[in-house]
Structure 1
C-alpha cells in the first residue's frame, strides 16, 4: 500500500479532530498528516485524504486551491458541517469539492461529520431575517444543538472504520487491476 497524505483545513477544530481520527485509522508509517497551511510535497503521495469545513456549501478557499493542484491522485474527501449528514447540502458540498479537483483524480470515498458551528456565524444566524434559510427557526435551532455535540467519539470511530473500508477498497481495486494484466 502506498503512503497516504492527510491534509486538512480547520477553523473551529472540528475538521482537525476528524483528520486526526482518520490518521489514527492508519497503521504507523502508512500516512502523514498536515494542515493545508503546512509545507508538504504533493508529489510524494499518490493517495490523498483532503478535509475541509464548509463555507457557502463548498470547501474553503485554501482547500479549493489545493484540490486544483491534485492531478493523477486517488482522493478521499472528508468534510465537517453543521448540516445533517445526508442532507442535500452535504451531498452537494461533496460534488462542489470534486469539481475543484485537477486532472485524472479518482475519488475513492467521502466522509462527513457534523461539527460545532463557528460561534461568530451562529450569532449572525440568530439575528438573520426570518426569511433567510439560515435563520433561527425551530428546525435550525434543533440542528444547531445537535451539531454542537459533534464531532464526538462516535464520529471518530466512524472515521477510523472508514479508513479500514477505504484500505480494503483500494486493495480490491489493485487486485482487480492486476488480474486484468
Structure 2
C-alpha cells in the first residue's frame, strides 16, 4: 500500500497526529505535507487527510483539497477543542464528508480533542464574570482545561490502532 498524508494544523494538534501517521507508515509514504493548495495525484492507494475543526467542519483549505481528490480511498483525521464526544465527532465527520468528491470513499476516520489557544479561555472567563451563574460557561471552562493535555498518548495509540488496520 502507498499513502499520501495531507493536513492543516493551527495549534499543532493535527500536526502531531499527522507526524504519528508518518511515523507509522513512513516506509510506504509517497507524499507528506501540510496542505498549501497544491494537490498532486501520487497514485497512492489511500489518502490520509487531517484537519482542525472550524465551525463544525474542516477549514476552507481542506474542503478545497477534498473536492479535488478523485477516485481515492480516504481516511480522515481531526482535532476538535470544543468537546470530547463521539456524537459531536460524528457530526463533524459528516460535515467534512459533504466536501468530498463523490468518486471517493471514506474508509475510516479518527477524531480526538485538541488543546485550544488561551484566548478562548479568557473569553470564557470574561463571560463568566458577566454571568457568574451560567453553568454552560463553567462547563466550557472545564472542557478547555481538559483539552490542554490533548492529543495525549492515549489518543496517539488509538490513532495508531486505526491506521495499522490499513497496512
Band the TM-score falls in, shorter-chain normalisation: 0.7 to 0.9
Q: Which runs of 5+ in 2 are unaligned?
A: none
Note closer, same or farther for the CA distance 1:119–1:42 as it changes in structure 2 (3 Å cut): farther
Following TM superposition, by how much is the alpha carbon of 1:87 offset from its aligned partner in structure 2, in angstroms?
3.9
Give a deviation string over 1:111-159, Cα, whole Å, max 9, x none: 012110133344334434879xxx9622111111111111122222222
Partner of 2:9: 10
Measured in 2, the distance between the counterparts of 1:161 and 1:32 equals 21
Partner of 1:150: 150
Following TM superposition, by how much is the alpha carbon of 1:52 offset from its aligned partner in structure 2, in angstroms?
0.3
Determine if contact 1:23/1:32 at 8 Å carries over to the other structure: no
Partner of 1:28: 27
Alignment of 1:98-137 (within 5 A): 98-128=97-127, 137=137
Determine if contact 1:125/1:136 at 8 Å carries over to the other structure: no
Note closer, same or farther for the CA distance 1:149–1:29 as it changes in structure 2 (3 Å cut): same
Measured in 2, the distance between the counterparts of 1:8 and 1:49 equals 8
Note closer, same or farther for the CA distance 1:163–1:87 as it changes in structure 2 (3 Å cut): closer
Provide the TM-score with structure 2 as the length reference: 0.85
After TM superposition, where is structure 1 displaced by more than 4 Å over at least 4 residues in a row? 128-131
Following TM superposition, by how much is the alpha carbon of 1:71 offset from its aligned partner in structure 2, in angstroms?
1.4
Measured in 2, the distance between the counterparts of 1:99 and 1:116 equals 26
Following TM superposition, by how much is the alpha carbon of 1:46 offset from its aligned partner in structure 2, in angstroms?
3.6
CA RMSD of aligned residues (A): 2.3
